[in-house]
């Protein structure tokens, strides 16, 4: 191997080179096969090597790949906008295109702030989020994120936004029912708005199911309905960050569809283009667009690659593939089977405190003591160990270790492509079981686990 000049996530570590992918499998240049058990970063939701998407990519590149959005619109981008308006609930009809989830959430933050300025209420400019959350890596997106590890170095430069507790059913107070607990967590939003002053708050942002910072933490029914009521009562916009949950990942088109709650702004990324091109979006309501149109008429957001025809054509081909192969329904069906298999693992292996998830967004949380739910110290790096062992054995899974806030949470996400079959799920579980067993044994030998 020649010397590398590429900055990698872990400096000094050697990474295998990717060769190709097909379906749920990835292959490195040494010929080793890996199950993509997390769709990359919960991204490759239609699987690898899909011909239809490659053809759409080539066809658009032959016509025109890039034309700047200040000069032109295109068939591809208009068709994609129309498809999203058809899929999105309520009057979420208007899409602003960007290239990453972080850009999408930061654009939502900016549009929310701009909306209140256009209405003559410029003090409404703060965003409330939850301490267990991840909304992206750019400074604005990080300001709204509770991801302790990613924030750590930049805290003085970030907006000091208020945070509330997420609903984290596994660690709810003993004896409290799920619905009571959901309401208690939602009511924290009301308390935070009253503390900060409703005239200071532009929006509340939340993921329907907590992904990268929690490990597929599903809220109790009733939680988001109450959140919607509170937002309406205090004129606070509700931003649903569907970057991970959108486009079928949880078994419905959007995560929020599970509770019939319509946000004012919605962000998409990842599964929207399933890794075939960088593409993400901020979708907003008619009301927001009418307000800005009647005001300045200009959206203060955008990047060079926003709404480029090439990415739009690829993303459209992905959404058409999802529809044609009924992958949202498959996500619900196969996701239920995946969760059942993970729950069986959780019963068998003492290292697993809980298996959880919705659709094809599942997770496992590791604990030192199953009965007391005692968490490992962060330094034990249990999730990282399970991930490394799985990789060694040919399975890729995703860490969820960010939103700790001194409480708990050493989890992984298991979120394979929505195309995965039952026998492939069995194969995935077999490798994951071996990896967890190996880590469990190692921890026992080091007397870190009873």
Report if residue 129 touches ligand PMP, rule: CB under 6 A: no
Question: Rounded to the nearest whole angstrom, what is the least distance from the CB of residue 134 to ligand PMP in the complex?
Answer: 5
Which CB atom, from 278 or from 350, has the smaller least distance to ligand PMP? 278
Residue partners of 226: CB distance under 8 A and separation at least 6? 182, 183, 186, 187
Q: Which stretch binds ligand PMP (CB under 6 A): 128-136, 296-304, 309-317, 425-433?
A: 128-136
The helix or strand, by DSSP H or E, that contains position 413, with its residue range, turns out to be strand 411-414
DSSP 68: -
In terms of Cα–Cα distance, which of 442, 423, 315 is closest to 24?
423
Q: Which stretch binds ligand PMP (CB under 6 A): 5-13, 32-40, 236-244, 424-432?
A: 236-244
Length, in residues, of the chain:
450
Which CB atom, from 205 or from 230, has the smaller least distance to ligand PMP? 205
In the window 251-290, what residues touch ligand PMP (CB under 6 A)? 269
Which CB atom, from 110 or from 341, has the smaller least distance to ligand PMP? 110
For residues 209 and 245, is the Cβ–Cβ distance under 8 A? yes
For residues 237 and 112, is the Cβ–Cβ distance under 8 A? yes
Which CB atom, from 100 or from 163, has the smaller least distance to ligand PMP? 100
Give the contact letters, 90-109, x = binds to ligand PMP (CB under 6 A), - = no.
----------xxx--x----
Q: Which of residues 244, 339, 355, 432 is near ligand PMP by CB under 6 A? A: 244
Residues 252-286, buried b or exposed e (16+ Cβ, 10 A)? bbbbbbbbebbbbbbbbbbbbbbbbbbbbbbbbbe
DSSP 297: -
For residues 166 and 133, is the Cβ–Cβ distance under 8 A? yes
Which CB atom, from 162 or from 215, has the smaller least distance to ligand PMP? 215
Which CB atom, from 363 or from 449, has the smaller least distance to ligand PMP? 363
Question: Rounded to the nearest whole angstrom, what is the least distance from the CB of residue 204 to ligand PMP in the complex?
Answer: 15
> What is the Cα–Cα distance from 205 to 107, expressed in whole angstroms?
12
Report if residue 136 touches ligand PMP, rule: CB under 6 A: yes
Q: Which stretch binds ligand PMP (CB under 6 A): 156-164, 239-247, 387-395, 399-407?
A: 239-247
Q: Which phi and psi (to 5°) does residue 413 adopt?
A: -105, 135
Which CB atom, from 117 or from 273, has the smaller least distance to ligand PMP? 273
> What is the Cα–Cα distance from 22 to 41, expressed in whole angstroms?
17
Report if residue 114 touches ligand PMP, rule: CB under 6 A: no
Instruction: Count the site residues for ligand PMP by CB under 6 A.
Output: 16
Cβ neighbours, 10 Å, residue 433? 15
Q: Which of residues 110, 124, 135, 252 is near ligand PMP by CB under 6 A? A: 135
In the window 27-56, what residues touch ligand PMP (CB under 6 A)? 41
Question: Rounded to the nearest whole angstrom, what is the least distance from the CB of residue 94 to ligand PMP in the complex?
Answer: 20
Name beta bridge partners: 203. Answer: 127, 237
| CA separation, residue 422 to residues 323, 344, 356, 359, 361 (Å) | 20, 15, 18, 14, 16
In terms of Cα–Cα distance, which of 412, 131, 420, 97 is closest to 269?
97
For residues 195 and 188, is the Cβ–Cβ distance under 8 A? no
In terms of Cα–Cα distance, which of 329, 354, 344 is closest to 410?
354
Give the contact letters, 197-226, x = binds to ligand PMP (CB under 6 A), - = no.
----------x---xx--------------
Helix axes 309-324, 51-63, angle to 10 degrees: 150
Q: In the bound complex, which residue of the shown chain has the CB atom lying closest to ligand PMP? A: 101
Question: Rounded to the nearest whole angstrom, what is the least distance from the CB of residue 171 to ligand PMP in the complex?
Answer: 21
How large is the greatest C-alpha to C-alpha distance in the chain, in angstroms? 68
Which CB atom, from 126 or from 135, has the smaller least distance to ligand PMP? 135
Q: Which stretch binds ligand PMP (CB under 6 A): 10-18, 67-75, 132-140, 285-293?
A: 132-140
Question: Rounded to the nearest whole angstrom, what is the least distance from the CB of residue 100 to ligand PMP in the complex?
Answer: 4
Question: Rounded to the nearest whole angstrom, what is the least distance from the CB of residue 105 to ligand PMP in the complex?
Answer: 5
Q: Which stretch binds ligand PMP (CB under 6 A): 78-86, 237-245, 328-336, 349-357?
A: 237-245
Q: Which of residues 38, 88, 205, 243 is near ligand PMP by CB under 6 A? A: 243
For residues 76 and 60, is the Cβ–Cβ distance under 8 A? yes
Burial (0-12, 13-18, 19+ Cβ within 10 Å), 334: buried
Contacts to ligand PMP by CB under 6 A = 41, 100-102, 105, 134-137, 207, 211-212, 241, 243-244, 269
């Amino acid at each position: 191997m020649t010397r590398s000049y590429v900055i990698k996530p872990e400096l000094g570590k050697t990474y295998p080179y990717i060769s190709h992918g097909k379906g749920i499998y990835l292959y490195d240049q040494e010929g080793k096969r890996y199950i993509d058990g997390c769709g990359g970063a919960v991204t490759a939701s239609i699987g690898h090597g899909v011909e239809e998407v490659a053809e759409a990519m080539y066809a658009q590149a032959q016509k025109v790949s890039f034309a700047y959005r200040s000069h032109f619109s295109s068939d591809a981008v208009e068709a994609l906008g129309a498809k999203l308006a058809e899929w999105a609930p309520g009057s979420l009809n208007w899409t602003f295109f960007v290239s990453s989830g972080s850009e999408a959430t930061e654009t939502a933050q900016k549009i929310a702030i701009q909306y209140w300025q256009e209405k003559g209420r410029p003090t409404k400019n703060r965003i409330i989020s939850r301490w267990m959350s991840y909304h992206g890596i750019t400074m604005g997106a990080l300001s709204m994120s509770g991801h302790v590890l990613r924030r750590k170095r930049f805290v003085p430069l970030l907006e000091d936004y208020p945070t509330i507790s997420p609903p984290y059913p596994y660690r709810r107070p003993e004896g409290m029912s799920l619905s009571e607990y959901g309401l208690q967590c939602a009511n924290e939003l009301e308390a935070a708005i009253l503390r900060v002053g409703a005239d200071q708050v532009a929006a509340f942002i939340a993921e329907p199911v907590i992904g990268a910072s929690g490990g597929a933490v599903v809220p109790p029914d009733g939680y988001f309905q109450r959140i919607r009521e509170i937002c309406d009562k205090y004129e606070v916009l509700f931003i649903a960050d569907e970057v991970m949950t959108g486009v079928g990942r949880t078994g419905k088109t959007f995560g929020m569809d599970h509770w019939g709650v319509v946000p004012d702004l919605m962000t998409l990324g990842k599964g929207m283009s399933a890794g075939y091109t960088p593409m993400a979006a901020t979708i907003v309501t008619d009301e927001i667009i009418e307000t800005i149109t009647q005001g300045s008429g200009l959206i203060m957001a955008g990047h060079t690659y926003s709404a480029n025809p090439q990415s739009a054509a690829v993303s459209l081909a992905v959404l058409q593939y999802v529809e044609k192969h009924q992958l949202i329904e498959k996500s619900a069906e196969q996701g239920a089977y995946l969760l059942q298999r993970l729950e069986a693992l959780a019963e068998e292996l003492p290292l697993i405190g809980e298996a959880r998830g919705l659709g094809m967004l599942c997770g496992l949380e590791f604990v030192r003591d199953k009965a007391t739910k005692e968490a490992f110290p962060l330094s034990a790096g249990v999730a990282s160990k399970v991930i490394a062992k799985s990789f060694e054995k040919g399975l890729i899974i995703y860490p969820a270790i960010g939103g700790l806030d001194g409480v708990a949470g050493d989890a992984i996400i298991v979120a394979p492509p929505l195309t995965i079959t039952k026998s492939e799920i069995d194969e995935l579980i077999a490798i994951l079981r071996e990896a967890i067993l190996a880590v469990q044994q190692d921890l026992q030998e080091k007397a870190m686990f009873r």
